[in-house]
Amino acid sequence: MVAVRRRAARSAAPSYTQADVEALSAANNEPNWLRESRLMAWELYEDMPMPGFKDEEWRRTDYRHIRWEEAEKLVSPNGASVDSVPAATLEPLIGEKQGGLLIFVDGKVVRYEISEELTRAGVIFTDLLTAAREHEDLVRANLMTKAVKPTDGKFAALHAALWTHGVFLHVPRGKVVELPLHVIMYNTHDGASLGHSLVVLDENSQATILVDYASADGSTHSVYIGATELLVGDAANLRYVSLQNWNRQTFEFSHQRARVGQNANLDWIVGTMGSQLAKMYLEIELDGKGANGRMSGMFFADHDQLFDHDTQQNHNAPLTTSDLLFKGAAKDHSRTVWQGMIKSMPQMQKINGFQASRNLVLSKDARMDGIPGLEIEADDVACSHAATFGTLDADQVYYLMSRGIPRSDAELMLSEGFFDELLQRIPFERVRDRLRDALDAKIVG
């Protein structure tokens, strides 16, 4: 008798339908324009194939082992409160006092605070669904129309059709928000969440916002299909920190893009520690003359994690400056990819674009790829790019040990030392501490 072995069918794509989009929109009691925009995105989504090996951007990131049939179930609130969020995540990381705090647990707002000072100044800081109802003009004009668009890719379209929750920040012209804003998106159970961050800074305004992503240990696959949109108006100043610490069963697919206006300034900090697989597009569009964008990325992969950071620095105006530094480490049999591109058009003169990816390979089974790229068509420019790879230096380890420091501590010091250059770019002490703690846990763990 011949035994017939059958592999369990694994779906290559989520099985969402238009009815899911309509049901979500109805359950949210959304305004018509929002429902319409979701349905238009859905059509786009249906017309696009799932990205795969044939796409250059996905060549190194195989996500086909995701169990969509389990991961795709939309996370819904089941009564979990703010108490389920770990204390370390709740901790304010920037300053003693916060201007606002917005905590989502399983996509539901469980805590919402905004200081009177901000409300008086006309700052809007609220969840995106509320904002869509109460500030239609602002949200409608900016939600997935300027920064991330449904046409950006399969996951961007799916996000636009099916986003589940999000934050909206609007700072009116000339207003300076000195107190930082803190957003937490925390999931207590498995499934799909599609979170959105929409930040709109009007001319000559200023804000600092930190978004924390985390989830409790899972029993099966989860997926996060996110979008972040940072619209930094002329002469505005945005400091944006995002820290990702999803559980080890989560797959993240996210599009994150900033648009930076004339003489405006963006300081963008990204920390990637969690998830099983993360494919993140991180893009800065320097749209206005004199715009300045800085991106500092830090990641540490271990076990079977795969992180793929895909960055772009697009100089769409003359006299613009971008400065990107990614520092990452990989141990065990983890994999990381960083691919970056600096682009400028022929008439965009006097631009400065810097890009560096520094990689610390901590095990022979780990693999790190760094692919820098320049497409510069102007001639009066200063651009540099570099990707370096190294392991812990045996002479450095010996030198530290020769002073009495045990090998494991010496290796920890050197790994921390490797990241120090990046940590020094982060102007918030407790953000640095949090990242350092996460690093130490990974190095020792």
The residues of the shown chain that bind another protein, judged by CB under 8 A, are 393-396, 398-407, 409-410, 413-414, 416-421
Return all residues near 287 (Cβ < 8 A) that are at least 6 apart: 259, 260, 261, 262, 316, 317
Phi, psi at 294, each rounded to 5° = -125, 135
- Nearest residue (CB) to another protein, 122 versus 417: 417
- Minimum separation from the CB atom of position 399 to another protein (A): 4
CB of residue 406 vs another protein: minimum separation in angstroms? 5
User: Cα separation of 47 and 42, whole Å?
Assistant: 9
Which CB atom, from 61 or from 415, has the smaller least distance to another protein? 415
- Comparing CB distances to another protein, the nearer of 41 and 423 is 423
User: How many C-beta atoms lie closer than 10 Å to residue 402's C-beta?
Assistant: 9
Whole-number minimum distance, CB 403 to another protein, in Å? 4
Residue 305 token pair? 């994690």
Nearest distance in Å: CB 338, another protein: 20
Residue 47 or residue 395: which is nearer to another protein going by CB? Answer: 395
Closest CB 296 distance from another protein, rounded Å: 15
Please report how close the Cβ of residue 417 comes to another protein at its closest, in angstroms.
3
Q: Of the two residues 346 and 404, which places its CB atom closer to another protein in the complex?
A: 404
| Amino acid found at 363 | S
Would you say 134 or 420 has its CB closer to another protein? Answer: 420
Whichever of 53 and 398 has its CB closer to another protein, that residue is: 398
Query: 3-class SS at 407?
Result: helix
Count other C-beta atoms under 10 Å from residue 232's C-beta. Answer: 34
Dihedral angle computed from the Cα positions of residues 280, 285, 291 and 293, in that order, rounded to the nearest 10 degrees: 10
Q: For residue 170, what are the CA distances in angstroms to 18, 100, 267?
A: 31, 13, 17
Taking a C-beta distance cutoff of 8 angstroms, is the pair 328, 311 a contact? no
Would you say 345 or 401 has its CB closer to another protein? 401
Q: DSSP readout, 349-365?
A: -SEEEEEEEEEEE-STT
CB of 280 to another protein, least distance (A): 25
Q: Nearest to residue 410, comparing CAs of 398, 419, 422, 423?
A: 398
What residue ranges in 80-204 does DSSP mark as E strands? 100-105, 108-114, 124-127, 165-171, 181-187, 192-193, 195-201
Shortest Å distance, C-beta 414 to another protein: 7
Q: Least Å distance between CB 78 and another protein?
A: 42
Give counts: helices (H), strands (E), the chain: 11, 21
Cβ proximity to another protein, 117 vs 421, nearer residue = 421
CA 70 to chain CA mean position, Å:
23
